[in-house]
Structure 1
Amino acid sequence: MMTESFDVVVVGAGSAGCALAGRLAARGIRTALVEAGAVVVPSESTPIASLAATAPGHVLNWAYHATLAHGRESTVPRGRVLGGSGAINGGYFVRAVPADFADWAVPGWSYEDTLPCFRRLERDLDFCTDDVHGDSGPLRISRPAGPLLAPVTEPFLQACTALGYPAEPDKNAGGPPGAGPVPTNAVDGRRVSSATAYLPPPWGDAEWCDALTVLGGRAVDTLLHSGGRVHGIRIGGDELHAGEVVVAAGAVGTPALLQRSGIGPEDTLRAAGIAVRHELPGVGRGWSDHPAVFLPLRSGLPDPHPDAVAGQAALNLDSGTDPAGDLEVLLFAHPFAPGGPAHLMCAVQRPDSRGMLAVTSPDPADPPRLDFRYLRTTSDRHRMRAAVRVGADILRVAGWDRAGPGDGGPAGWELGNDTRLDEWIQERLTTSVHLSGSAAMGTGPDSVVGPDLRVHGLAGLRVADTSILPSVPRRGPAATAVMIGERAADLVAAS
């Protein structure tokens, strides 16, 4: 058995974990970053226009089986590589909005509290002369322009304007919702994850430091804890000991590891044959994600540049009850298959429905059960219909509506009838893969971590990824995940 000791062990090298580990090591804190997946991203997986690594069975993603709603099954990709989901996703890099932080109401985590971390992580190439954006961070942020602006992007934005929606030229400015280009962390058509931005060679482009150890292909079996304190991790026959362990394995991997370690709801643990070491009812429960459906554009439209980002522009809007914007219509400029149409993704961004996650055994090779429980509330079903109808309006105004029967879009009689449209949505429902809140931050009985990210009732253990967010942000969580890593580095270094 190998035993090593570090100041901090970070479990999970995703968007938050890489930022956290890189920042700690740069301060001279001896840090081990442990990743279950590969530590080298194949060159064929770096083009931002390609989402090939998200396909079921691809070696770079976990491809969890999940139930979305009422028997609707799906495969949920999560990054299984250095950089996590940020190394395989579409490059959408939009911050949570001020209303999200107000809703979460966690001391020390207001929009104003976190803005310095957002600024520190970025070098915004389009907006860098104000007090909202950063101009020297490790991640370069830009919006589609020039040859990388898809031919369908301007017509999409013009259709939104014609329908009366306001412009939102900078979706990271914290302003009111509207239609505008999507900020992305792609450079020259290449996906840049937090691994590339925050880690030193040979893993990334940051300045070299000798305080970081990266271990790849190492799935953690369990956390080591006794006497109310976590003091390390076990990987097979090896142990890593640390003054502090930070779990940053993602909103699926983190609650699964906690549960395998005997930390979680008593009924879930006992059903999986796991001894209850520390009961925390909120682990794996009460999380949320953005339910979505796709509307195809008319076939035969011009193809985008091969290096163009897929998600080019988005309309964020209020369904009637949320001025901060609880719906999104996102333009996907690249077809999902050669010769196919581009799509609009219509999503509910502030859902009421909540999901559940449960491990089935103590074996990390056994995937957890994921039940998204989408559209369980009347309000969620109403807003999903509203999002689809807005998307259909955009298609109509832009001249991209149905080319003929059987092209996949809802017919007029379906759009005009709630029951029929609900049936159409149910048959096509998918997930935005933005799972958040599976180890939520707060002080209530169902929270898992406090504002300092320490797990309630256990010393030496913190969580730092999107599982801490009390609910999914109104925008995709990629930028917020990196911010969490930045903020966690401050908290850990100060302790």
Structure 2
Amino acid sequence: MAVPQFDNALPTAADVVVVGAGAAGAAVAARLSELDSARILLVEAGPDYRAAQTPPAVRDTDVGRALALRSLRWPDLRARLTEAQPPRPYACGRGVGGGSAINGQLAARGTPADFDAWVAAGCPGWSWPDVLPTFVGIEDDLDFGDGPGHGAGGPVPISRAPAGRRGPLSAALYTAAVDRGHAERPDLNAGEGPGISPTAWHRRGGARVSSNDSHLEPARDRPGLRVAGGRTVARVLFSAGRVRGVEVADGRRRTVVAAPAVVLCAGAVYSPAILLRSGVGPADQLDRLGVEVVAAVPGVGARLSDHPAVLLDLRLTGDAAERARRTESGCCLLRLPSGPGAGTGPPAGADAGAGADAGHDIQLLPLDRTVGPAAAGLLVSLMRPASLGAVRLRSDDPADDPQVDLRLLTEPADLGRLGEAVRYAADLLDHRDLRAVVADRPAPPAGDLRRWLRESCRAQYHPSGTCRMGPATDPGAVVDEEGRVHGVDGLWVADASVLPVPCGVPPYLSTVMLAERLAAAIRRRLRPAP
């Protein structure tokens, strides 16, 4: 399917260059374009198009249709997920909207416990009370917008499928979870503990709303904003440790855009890649690549995290398969803790009324439709993994995709927790409500479960942490609490790569919140108060 292209020529100079028009970059560019007389250039490697030109597959609620558009992801990017698997395709958004144009559309806030961990990691100003007003401000919650702790009228619509629109697997999982004693949590984003919740999506009227729609489109006609699609930023240029612009690659042609400020929003794979090509990163890696070291920042590309998951393949009964074609898929989430004391039932205490501090690190998502006329699945995910990987350059050529080594399940605790979750999911599938819609129910492997997990594990395309936020005294930190890159002036990173600790939920809403707050900090730096 061809994607329409709305092009804008490159200027020779700008006040700020924002790199990447995804979930973060669209928000940052939109907010910076509100500055009077500021010249903001937004450079996007993939196609640029107006909201009205959005491909139908992107609007569709079937995530598989959007993921199938090679033009909207880095088509040749591959990642090694575990040591037991060969490298395989890894989906990262490419084009306006970025990952929000091709992701699973889940709109879940990070939890209070997530942001407590950020503060403990040396990032003041990022506690739950600090970030909650921004979460409220960005949302237009169509179900809870008039309730406490929620917002109405913000740029990001949040909706849930009504009970009558839930697919048969989703409906059966919901009732089975309640019957097994899991708490009902009608509002996924209420900051409560584990339990069963209707899935919250960034949709309006049954159609996906990406950051291209929510943030970039309303800013398109501001005179100071220019969007240039189909161009890759090869590197940031410096003079005496101070940003002086970017070098943009358009095929073999290179163009320099002069600018005193650059904000990288290219995501947790490509933001560190740009830093490394620019001479900001571990000195030994840069020396091997023949890249001149501008600032030795060892943490660039390190501490890559993603949420490991396994899919339990299911086959629906004939009646259920027919209903699945007429209803929505993935309409609820079951969240529960793992580890000592969690067992194979609802968590004691957490489901019994514990509040915002109750942890959960396992997520069960029903997929009412996968591939095939009666195919379905139950996705079992570990949402707070300890295993970490890395992003490295193969060369300093921007046409070469970086090397992505996720190293999922390298920590023994991750293997144990995910294995426990798979056993519980298989047991839950034996509930009478699920037996009524599932014709074939898988059982955990009779042999080596840990080996099966390493061989079957998949990523959820939620990379983060490769430009970690933290104080300059932390040798692994790349940016400070305002997103400023350590060791240079005029350079920021403002996307999921700066997460100091991964969020225990899909990262879209937290990334938009982060981008909004960092954009406000950048604006203060660019236009200090008199």
Q: Does 1:490 align with 2:523?
A: no
Amino acid at match of 1:107: P
Q: Deviations over 1:31-61 (max 9, x none)?
A: 1111000012423332121423324x81211
For structure 1, list consecutive stretches of 5 or more residues without a partner in the other structure: none
Q: Deviations over 1:383-414 (max 9, x none)?
A: 1101211221221114349745xx8x335x62
2:345 aligns with: none
Determine if contact 2:321/2:373 at 8 Å carries over to the other structure: no
2:396 aligns with: 362
Provide the TM-score with structure 1 as the length reference: 0.92
Task: Give the superposed CA RMSD.
Answer: 2.1
Report the CA distance between 1:16 and its aligned residue: 0.7
- Name the CA distance, whole Å, in 2 between partners of 1:2 and 1:166: 54
Change (3 A) 1:245 1:306: farther
Q: Does 1:330 align with 2:365?
A: yes
Change (3 A) 1:310 1:245: farther
1:85 aligns with: 99
Report the CA distance between 1:158 and its aligned residue: 1.1
The range that moved more, 240-249 or 419-428, is 419-428
Provide the TM-score with structure 2 as the length reference: 0.86
Give 1:59's match in structure 2, choosing from 33, 51, 71.
71
The range that moved more, 299-308 or 315-324, is 299-308
- Equivalent runs, 1:205-224 vs 2, <5 Å: 205=218, 208-224=221-237
- Name the CA distance, whole Å, in 1 between partners of 2:39 and 2:61: 33
- Name the CA distance, whole Å, in 2 between partners of 1:139 and 1:154: 26
Change (3 A) 1:162 1:305: closer
1:289 aligns with: 306
1:434 aligns with: 462
- Name the CA distance, whole Å, in 2 between partners of 1:7 and 1:148: 48
Count of matched residue pairs: 481
Change (3 A) 1:341 1:169: same
Give 2:336's match in structure 1, choosing from 311, 317, 337.
317
Change (3 A) 1:448 1:86: same
- Name the CA distance, whole Å, in 2 between partners of 1:347 and 1:90: 14
- Equivalent runs, 1:207-286 vs 2, <5 Å: 208-236=221-249, 237-286=254-303
Give 2:112's match in structure 1, choosing from 91, 94, 98.
98
2:179 aligns with: 162
Determine if contact 2:42/2:227 at 8 Å carries over to the other structure: yes
Task: Give aligned-pair identity as a percent.
Answer: 38
Change (3 A) 1:117 1:488: same
Report the CA distance between 1:304 and its aligned residue: 5.5
For structure 2, list consecutive stretches of 5 or more residues without a partner in the other structure: 1-8, 343-357, 526-530
1:410 aligns with: 443
Q: Deviations over 1:179-201 (max 9, x none)?
A: 111110112232110111112xx
- Name the CA distance, whole Å, in 1 between partners of 2:246 and 2:213: 25
Runs of 4+ in 1 over 6 A off after TM superposition: none
2:47 aligns with: 38
1:143 aligns with: 160
- Name the CA distance, whole Å, in 2 between partners of 1:330 and 1:261: 40
Q: Deviations over 1:415-454 (max 9, x none)?
A: xxxx621122223110011111010001111010000110
- Name the CA distance, whole Å, in 2 between partners of 1:393 and 1:272: 51
Determine if contact 1:297/1:395 at 8 Å carries over to the other structure: no
Amino acid at match of 1:62: W
Report the CA distance between 1:377 and its aligned residue: 1.4
Classify the secondary structure of the residue corresponding to 1:375.
coil
Determine if contact 1:189/1:307 at 8 Å carries over to the other structure: no
